[in-house]
A and B are shown apart, each in its own frame.
Chain A
Amino acid sequence: MITIHHYLILSALLFTLGLLGAVLRKNILIVLMSIEVMMNAINLTFIAVSRYLRVMDGHVVAFFVMAVAAAEAAIGLAIVVSLFRTRQTIKTTDWRMMRG
């Protein structure tokens, strides 16, 4: 018997894995992919709760999160391309001109 808690704990696990990937890795593309994984975990929470409450509002919120993720991926990858053009690297530790 699968309850809502199975889905909620699975999404917590996915969110934590995405957080770990975003914090630990130095490759900026893997950091961006980990942020996508975190947004997916949030979507899974919304869909699970809306299934068990029998309302469809969570599906609409998941749709909006997908649109925000698409915009974030487009802008993030454009920033990565323009930074790679000037610095010739994709390691986050090499981009420290904003550090005080």
Chain B
Amino acid sequence: MSETIFFYIFAVISVGMVLLMIFQTNPIVSALYLVFGFFGVAGLYVLLSAPFVAVLQVLVYAGAIMVLFLFVLMLLNLRKEDLVYDRLNWRKIGVGGVAILFLGFLAHHFTRIQIQPFFDLPENFGTPEGVGRLLFTTYLIPFELVSILLLVAIIGAVVLGKRQ
């Protein structure tokens, strides 16, 4: 029963914070709303018995990536006229309708998925030990490739940020 209550609390937090993030004029305020939205998604990960990914969500998304966003936002020194709210027009209403159709399509196909629920989980499910063991045995080569990807991203960011 408490799982149901917590699911709806975290679902309302994440969806509501994402909605508030989209409809803001000031990007700093919307970055702060998005931090709370990421916390809501981290709570959902805890409910899904994935504590390691929940901790990574808070550390990497709500911590590192959003700090990077706020840092760049304060570096950019935006003027008042950059922060105007986007007007509603027919193109946007059409895009919204297409998005609602897309959501209906996704929901229709997701509700037809049949998976028998299991309540007994294996040992070390979702803990750092379990995920790490999988990461360093089955997924060793993708893990090393991710390190190369991050290195390339660092070099690319330095090259792009350098003044000509």
Q: Name A's B-contacting residues (CB within 8 A).
A: 1-10, 12-21, 23-27, 29-30, 32-34, 36-37, 40, 43-44, 47-54, 56-57, 59-60, 62-64, 66-75, 77-82, 84-85, 89-91
Contacts and interface: CB of A to CB of B under 8 A. Distances in A.
Given A30-B24, A59-B52, A70-B64, A5 B110 contact: yes
The 10 closest A-B pairs by CB, nearest first: A71-B153, A78-B160, A12-B106, A8-B110, A21-B22, A78-B157, A16-B103, A51-B48, A29-B27, A77-B72
B160 A75 contact: yes
B72 A16 contact: no
Q: Is the interface of B mostly helix, strand, loop or mixed?
A: helix
A53 B111 CA distance: 16
* Binding site secondary structure of chain A: helix
A74 B103 contact: no
Interface of B: 3-4, 7, 11, 14-15, 18-19, 21-22, 24, 27, 30-31, 34, 37-38, 41, 44-45, 47-50, 52-53, 56-57, 60-61, 64-65, 68-69, 72-73, 75-76, 78, 82-83, 86, 92, 95-96, 99-100, 102-103, 106-107, 110-111, 113, 115, 117-118, 121-122, 125-126, 130-131, 134-135, 138-139, 142, 146, 149-150, 152-154, 156-157, 160-161, 163
Contacts of A36: 34, 61, 65
B131 A59 contact: yes
A51 B49 CA distance: 7
A2 to B, nearest CB: 5
Contacts of B139: 60
B110 A12 contact: yes
Contacts, number: 212
Contacts of B45: 44, 47
